[in-house]
Chain A
Amino acid sequence: MSALPIDLALAWDSIPQMAEGLMTTVFLTVLVLTIGLPLSILVTLARMSKSPLLAVPAALFVVFFRGAPLLILLYLVYYGFGQIEALREGPLWVIFGSAFACAVIGLTLNHVAFMVDVVRGSLSAVPAGLIEASSALGLTPRETFTYIRLPLAMRYGLAAYQNEVVMFAKGTAVVSVITVVDLTAVANELFEETYDPFTPILTAAAFYWCFVNLIRLGFNALERHLNRHNVREATVKEPAPGAALPIDGAAPAAPVPPLRRMANFGRRTAPVKAPAPALSTATPKEHAV
């Protein structure tokens, strides 16, 4: 392919602008992830609640905001709220009047809806025996949740969460349509200035690639940290020949020997065969490819 003219000078000159766009993308991603995590735990608890008053709205929330494409959600928030007279006059217009805030709202709704299934899957991957044991030991349900279920679920769910975060970070490229100047918007601007179809987009793609892979590296480090007490050989035992499926590569390969510290085991016992967290097959995790 002789005709892939990448204008290196243009690419070099565009780096400051691209970096600025990348900062917007990163800031947007981090902000939504920070808002989204606690929110999705709350919605999941509502979704798993026995009371239909909580469970039904949460289920509807998930169905709608998960099923609707992100692009439509952004249009809906950006163009929709601007039409409401009361909102435009009211004090909240500071929020709904800004494209960036609209992007945050639209992305958060979508992200939370996806996260509900991730959180639910990881919570239900925690072996029932542990929960029964803690209630047998006299822990209150709340203590069981905060000290037993949530920490373990975090480990089980990390692989699915990583997938969702990576998909989400790439999905933020859409916010350029509602005038947020992110990395994609910068690339588009440069395209319109120079009519060079390759250089700006490929430069932006390189930036995205670095961002996404930094996220991957970060998650790998976090996973190692969370599983630092684990027996190593269990993970080394089965090096998948060739390329493993990316999610499965990060899947909790070694079942966590549950709660060694509480059970005051000084020495390492044989790894308890906890029921393998069925995350990689059972949860309907749409983002995980």
Chain B
Amino acid sequence: MELFSDQFNGYLWQMAQGAYVTLQLFAAGFSLALVIGVLVGIITLSKNIVIQAFWKVYSSIIMGVPSLLIIFLLYYGGSAMLSGIFGTDRSFDVTPFGAGVAALTIVYACYIAELVHGAVMNLPKGQFEACSALAIRPIAAWRHVILPQLTRLALPGLINIWMIVLKDTPLVSLAGLNDLVANAKIAAGATKEPFIFFIAASLFFIAFSALTLRLSARLETRFNRGIAEVKA
């Protein structure tokens, strides 16, 4: 097939639209996972035995199962679950996009919660003690003292999760979402040029992650501006 013919450009355009869907899915999934994950992470720091036991079991299940299965479970079983919760008299349509956002959120909120736990462990205990010595109320202490420091500690791990979520988003195409990878597959099948379209699709992911890595490096220097670098 000729490069830059009308047909070729058509497929490229379709892939660009797919890339937009992929980015939307990624942004929605990651930001929801971030918010919920941080909240859950803080809540499950509680010493309450019930919360601890529940969290142990839940996180072990979610982190011990491929995210692809969770996507399938939510896509195929989502409407049954929703009508189970909200009553069977209503019917619910679960779109691949919705199922994908839900699955990414559920899986990666778990990882982010564990990341928050790790960051809190790494925070010097004196920070908490100083807060209570100064009679700073818990909410204010978290907001102004603990969370800003956690951000710095958790940032490298968060960027790892960012990358993993980015590479898990194409899995939603297997539930029928018309994203970048699905469109690349269509184009590859129709034109019999799998190399061009699949390599183009992977270059998109590589470029996007390279861009975010650069941004994250800047962010890291900014968060670390108060910290002296230790020369090994």
Closest residue of chain B to A173 (Cβ to Cβ) is B66
| Cβ contacts A59-75/B at 8 Å (1 or 0 each) | 00001100111111101
B30 adjacent to chain A (CB < 8 Å): no
Partner of A209 from the list B44, B64, B67 (CB cut-off 8 Å) is B64
Interface size class of A (residues with CB under 8 A): 35 or more
Interface positions, chain B 174-232, Cβ under 8 Å from A, are: 174, 181, 184-185, 188-189, 192-195, 198-199, 201-202, 205-206, 209-210, 232
Say whether A75 contacts B64, CB under 8 Å: no
Contact (A80, B66) CB under 8 Å given A75-B185, A197-B73: no
A83: Cβ under 8 A from any B Cβ: yes
Q: For chain B, which range describes its interface: under 10, 10 to 19, 20 to 34, or 35 or more residues?
A: 35 or more
Chain B facing A: main interface SS: helix
5 A-B residue pairs with Cβ-Cβ distance under 8 Å, sorted by A, are A68-B205, A75-B181, A76-B195, A204-B69, A209-B61
A residues adjacent to B (C-beta < 8 A): 1-4, 63-64, 67-73, 75-76, 79-80, 82-83, 167, 170-174, 177, 184, 187-188, 191, 197-198, 201-202, 204-205, 208-209, 212-213, 240-246, 248, 275, 281, 284-289
A289 & B171 in contact (Cβ 8 Å cutoff): no
Q: Which residue on A lies nearest to B198, using beta carbons?
A: A76
- The contact of B205 among A4, A69, A209, A212, by CB within 8 Å, is A69
* A188, B72: Cα distance in complex, Å: 9
Q: In the complex, what residues of A have CB within 8 A of residue B188's CB? A: 75, 79
A10 to chain B, nearest CB (A): 14
> Which residue of chain B has its CB nearest to the CB of A74?
B198
Which 6 pairs show the lowest CB-CB distances between chains A and B? A3-B84, A245-B118, A68-B202, A197-B77, A67-B206, A173-B66
